[in-house]
Every structure is written in structure tokens, then in C-alpha cells.
A = this chain, B = another copy of it.
Amino acid sequence: MEIQRLTDKGFTTKTFQKDAIIYEPGMQPRYVYFIQSGEVRMVTISDDGKEFIQGVFKAGQYFGEPALLIDKPYLAFTIVNKVSRIIQVNRQDFFALIENEPDFSMSLIKTLSRRLFYKSMMLEELANEKAEHRLLTIINYLLPDVAVGAPLKVTRQELADMTGLRVETVIRGVKLLSKKGLISLSGGKIIRLE
């Protein structure tokens, strides 16, 4: 995996504690961040303090490239969910990585494409669909990542922050979806069937 190759090359790891802010909107990008372990969330926060989850990144993934690549200040906060060990790769080294490692370049292209896909999907939802539809869409998007019969490890608040809704609306919406048989609940948790 990419992280291994980086440590082999002598890149060092930095530890960030829970709730640490790795960068915030307006800052000029200096690094691309590769996660060795832990988890971070990328969120925008409106004037009245409401978070919107732009993405969640885990071990083996990287974040912060788009801003660095097009040389524009960050739009979002990146905040640590679980203590994380992170490799900061500066602009020069990152460009070298792209130019000298064709398979990294290809995987970056695919990663960007996947994120773009997700954002296009959510944009359509936020622009045109109402609460229940939005909820069903992210739930179905998240479910394939959990084992059959296992629950979705996500709070109603997190669903709210991914869909631009409010907790109360998510709580009511999830209940309705379950009543309609479109999802199945078990002890409050959303369960993957089949």
C-alpha cells in the first residue's frame, strides 16, 4: 500500500489527537495528508455552526490534494475523529509522486473520480429530493460497506450532517422508512439484510 512506500522512503509520521484541527478554511494548502492510522472528517461549518460532512477518511486514505493541486485555499475543516498517525507530504514530494509512480497517478485519478461521483449524487439529492429520499440514498450508499446482518455504525446526527437535514427530521424519517419496509431497524440501528 502507498503508506508503506512512503515510510520506506523516510517520510515521518505525526500524531494528531482527537478533535485536533488539521487545517481550516482559508488556509493555504502546504501538504497532502496520508493516514497511517485513525480517522478524520472533512466538514464545512455554516455561520450558525451547522456542520456538513464533506467526507470521512480512514487508514490508507489521503486527503487535501484538490486544494493543493489547484492551489486554492481550503474550503473545509479537517478534524480528527480518532487519534491519527498522519504523514504530511509537501507539494514538491507530492508532485514527484504523481510523476514518478504511474500506478499512484492512476489510483489518484480513480479516487478523485469516486469522490466526484459521490458529490454529484449528493448534489442531486440536496437540490431536488426531500428528506426521506435523501435518507434512503445515503443509507443505501453506506450499507454495502457493512457485513450482512450487521448494523450501520452511524448516528442520526451524522446522517443529518451528511444530508443537510436536522436530527429530528432524520429520526422521524428513518422511522417512516422502516415503517414502509424500505430499511430495517434492530434496536434503533439500521441493519443490512440479505
A-side interface residues toward B, CB under 8 Å? 44, 46, 50, 52, 54, 65-67, 69-70, 72, 75-76, 98-99, 102, 105-106, 108-110, 112-117, 119-124, 126-129, 163-164
A99 to B115, CA, bound (A): 21
Residues of B within 8 A of A50 (CB): 128
Residues of B within 8 A of A114 (CB): 66, 70
Closest residue of chain B to A130 (Cβ to Cβ) is: B46
* In-complex Cβ contact of A98 among B76, B106, B163 (8 A): B106
A69 to B109, CA, bound (A): 8
Cβ of B75 and Cβ of A44 under 8 Å apart?
A: no
A120 to B67, CA, bound (A): 11
| Contact A116/B119 with A70-B110, A75-B124 known, Cβ cut-off 8 Å | yes
Closest residue of chain B to A119 (Cβ to Cβ) is: B119
Min CB–CB distance A184 → chain B (angstroms): 24
A52 to B10, CA, bound (A): 47
Cβ of A116 and Cβ of B117 under 8 Å apart?
A: no
* In-complex Cβ contact of A69 among B72, B113, B123, B128 (8 A): B113
Cβ of B116 and Cβ of A109 under 8 Å apart?
A: no
Min CB–CB distance A157 → chain B (angstroms): 14
A124 to B67, CA, bound (A): 16
5 residue pairs from A and B, CB less than 8 Å apart: A52-B128, A54-B120, A112-B113, A119-B123, A127-B163
* In-complex Cβ contact of A115 among B106, B116, B129 (8 A): B116
A106 to B94, CA, bound (A): 12
A55 to B89, CA, bound (A): 31
Closest residue of chain B to A65 (Cβ to Cβ) is: B113
Closest residue of chain B to A129 (Cβ to Cβ) is: B46
Cβ of A113 and Cβ of B70 under 8 Å apart?
A: yes
